[in-house]
Structure 1
Amino acid sequence: MSHSKPKYLQIYSEIANAIKNQEYAPGDLLPTEEVLCKKHATSRPTVAKALRLLAKEKIVKRRAGFGTQVLAPGKSSITAGLLIPNLHSTEIFTPICASLTEAAGMEAMRIVRPLELEIPTEDPCQLAEILTQRFIDEKVHGVFFSPLEHIPNQERFNRGILRKLDEAGIRIVLLDRDVYAWPQQTPHDLVGIDNIEAGYTIGSHLIANGCKTPAFVSIPNPAMTVRLRRIGARESLAHFGRDTREMLDICFHPEAPEKTAQELLDKKVDGILCANDATAAQLLRALLDLGAKIPESIRVCGFDDVKYASLLSVPLTSYHQPCRAIGKVAARVMINRIKNPDTPAHRVSLAGRLIVRESSTPV
């Protein structure tokens, strides 16, 4: 079992998979709470929480004095699939999906995850197409979809996925991003953060602390979420009465971060907004190797506030995404969409917060 999620969710996942794999047949009783406590080396309240979640999804039925009985397949009233091809390569989706699953269980909605379907490919496009067809075949009620990025004909591919789901009558909630380039919008629900506001917040932080030559650093042809962060960063300059063109646009070379670091030093940049924490971590290390003093002469910020951001050699200032809140809200939006399919689309932008650490602390 994965240890990146709470113990009760680990127990929930193991039992749910055991039932799916027919280790327990409909009508069977699960082991008692006492037995499960010993097996998982945990407390009874933790086991009870996992069993309540299974009961909420109508996978089992709990009866006082009788035990926990496995229900027949199809008893769950609502099912929704996770169509997130980059689930394990983008760190924010792990806590989003954990929270989403928990919130869904409280609403008696069962989440169908890719690991349950045993998809024999790691190619993101193939994975998305196979998952889409599986969800259609299984007649799920809804799908949480995170559109693919950095693929050929990106918009056309993602719109094709949406079209297949729409034609099958499956409700869709987009996670984190739209399939269209801003400002165009799809007629589907979307839950994420306001990336323009995020970029504005970090840009304002750097400029207010005296940065004269700021730069936005990203890979070539960045994702739309990153482009929106760049728009926000430029707007922060306007707020301080400066020309938005003062925000330099610097290309990051993942295979040679020292090349980007040297360019920044040559241009006397004193404030860096990185597209994400992964970029910031590599760039920060390269700058230190070249003798840059952080934050005395150059300040560095990232986005997402991933786990290792506070553990870098110079702890990283970052914009924290409210991942658990995103998951919880997405589950509620999906329930509403399934129960009220004709209501107008909801676009929910949750507010994150700036976590200031040593990489940008004023000196």
Structure 2
Amino acid sequence: MSKKRVTVQDIADELGLSRNTVSKAINGTGSIAEDTKQKIFQTAAQLGYKQFAMPAAIVPETKSSPILPRHKEISLFTHTLLGQSHFGSKLLDSFQQRIGEYGYILTVYMIRDYEIQNLCLPINFNPERSDGIMCLEVFSESYSQFLSSQKIPLLFVDTVVNHMDLNLLADCIYMENRTSSYRMLKSLVQNGCKHISFVGDRMHCHSFYERWSAYCQIHTDYNLQLEMDCCILDADSELYFDLDWLTEKLKALPHMPEAFFCANDSLAIAIMKALRQLNYKIPDDVMVCGFDNSTEATVVEPPLTTVQIPSSSMGYIAADTLISRIDHPATPFRTTYIKTDVIFRESTKQK
């Protein structure tokens, strides 16, 4: 009988917390007390949530620590725990399945700000036990270079913006961002939109920047004025998911755009909530579109126009790419783009 999959709800039930609180901690959104966050991370590790491994200083000590046999191990490094709405969640499921077919186990390591600032590996990570590393949501320039120097087979799923300048010794996999973003924006323009706002930190990662590039390109190709003062481009450290903060940002715009193109679905749904707070109707007054096709995109009202990422396929391709690198370390490094598709829904008007 297969082992029951641990869910966010299981962690919430164990701690007596709401599912929403646990989800926010796992996704790195919202304001969660540090001690509560650490309890959530600790419980995730203890319950085996996606093979999550906590730093040794956080995991409770036991009287005896058995010597574990040497396994074929692949490590996931992530700066953000992946909630069910994150595209990486399905990617990780298929990745783990595929590497299991090759006889590997997966261990997930949380990369904290401490590791990034001090350029060090997680305290409970043993390079001699790991045959390869996949990085997901690791967008620090210096830390990416640090990992690249470790001489361990390395794969990035998305990267920092200027990854080409870094000359990383790693394979890279991306979802295709420009074409699908351009097609979605072209539909808005052809439906009469001349004032479109971009929402999100364009420098957050390479994929966000490619979506921003498509946004800029559509303005050039259709002779539209690029209104930077109508975009919300604040750094990720700002409170995008704070309704009051975002509502004030909308009120401060010189005029309300006809449409918002958001860097992902989470931002799009946050914008929709803020627009409703200001009594705007979607799509009659303002149209909204996102990127990811998260679960929430289908249940939000109205359903969100977005871009479908083939996350499961990306997981299989990521596994094959990293194992190929492990088996053939001298082959040239590869950059792979996975095709995405626009899904038009009721948050935008279609002629």
Kindly, what percent of the aligned residue pairs are identical?
Answer: 21
Alpha-carbon offset, residue 178 of structure 1: 4.4
Alpha-carbon shift at residue 181 of structure 1 (Å): 4.5
Match of 1:356 among 323, 344, 348: 344
Match of 1:203?
185
Counterpart of 2:197?
Answer: 215
Aligned to 1:276: 264
From the superposition, tell whether residues 340 and 244 of structure 1 become closer, same or farther in structure 2 (CA, over 3 Å).
Answer: farther
Shift of 1:263: 4.0
C-alpha contact 1:173 1:190 (8 A) present in aligned 2: yes
TM-score (norm 2): 0.71
Partner of 2:34: none
Q: Which moved more, 1:204-213 or 1:84-93?
A: 84-93
Query: Counterparts of 1:94 and 1:306 in 2: how far apart (Å)?
Result: 10
Paired residue secondary structure (1:204):
helix
Amino acid corresponding to residue 112 of structure 2 in structure 1: D
TM-score by length of 1: 0.69
Report the counterpart of residue 190 of structure 1 in structure 2: 172
- The answer on 1:146 being equivalent to 2:125 is no
Corresponding residue for residue 81 of structure 2: 87
Tell me if 1:126 matches 2:112.
no
Distance 1:305 1:225 in 2: 15
- Shift, 1:177, TM fit: 2.0
Once the two structures are superposed, residues 152-203 of structure 1 have per-residue CA deviations (whole angstroms, 9 ceiling, x without a partner) of xx3123212321x22xxx1001112247346765231011212333432332
Matched, 1:100 2:104: no
**How many matched pairs?**
286
Gaps of 5+ in 2: 10-47, 53-61
Decide which moves more: 190-199 or 320-329: 190-199
Measure, in 2, the Cα distance between the counterparts of 1:124 and 1:342: 32
- In structure 1, the partner of 2:157 is 175
Question: In 2, distance between residues paired with 1:125 and 1:205?
Answer: 44
Find 1:158's aligned residue among 135, 144, 161. 144
Q: Which has the larger radius of gyration?
A: 1
Equivalent in the alignment of 1:136: 127
Work out the CA distance in 1 between the residues paired with 2:335 and 2:121. 27
Q: Which residue of 1 aligns with 2:251?
A: 262
Letter in 1 for 2:69: P
User: What residue number does 2:209 align with?
Assistant: 227
1:301 and 2:289 aligned: yes
* Pairing of 1:13-28 with structure 2 (within 5 A): none
How far apart are 1:147 and its partner, in Å? 5.4
1:303 match: secondary structure: coil
**Once superposed, what is the RMSD of the aligned Cα atoms?**
3.3
Letter in 2 for 1:136: P
Partner Cα distance (1:135, 1:244) in 2: 53
Residue pair 2:264, 2:290 contacting (<8 A) in 1 also = yes
- SS at 2:89 equivalent: helix
How many Å apart are 1:277 and its aligned residue? 1.4
How far has the Cα of 1:103 moved from its partner?
1.0
Displacement after TM superposition at 1:306 (Å):
1.4
The answer for unaligned runs of 5 or more in structure 1 is 6-12, 27-71
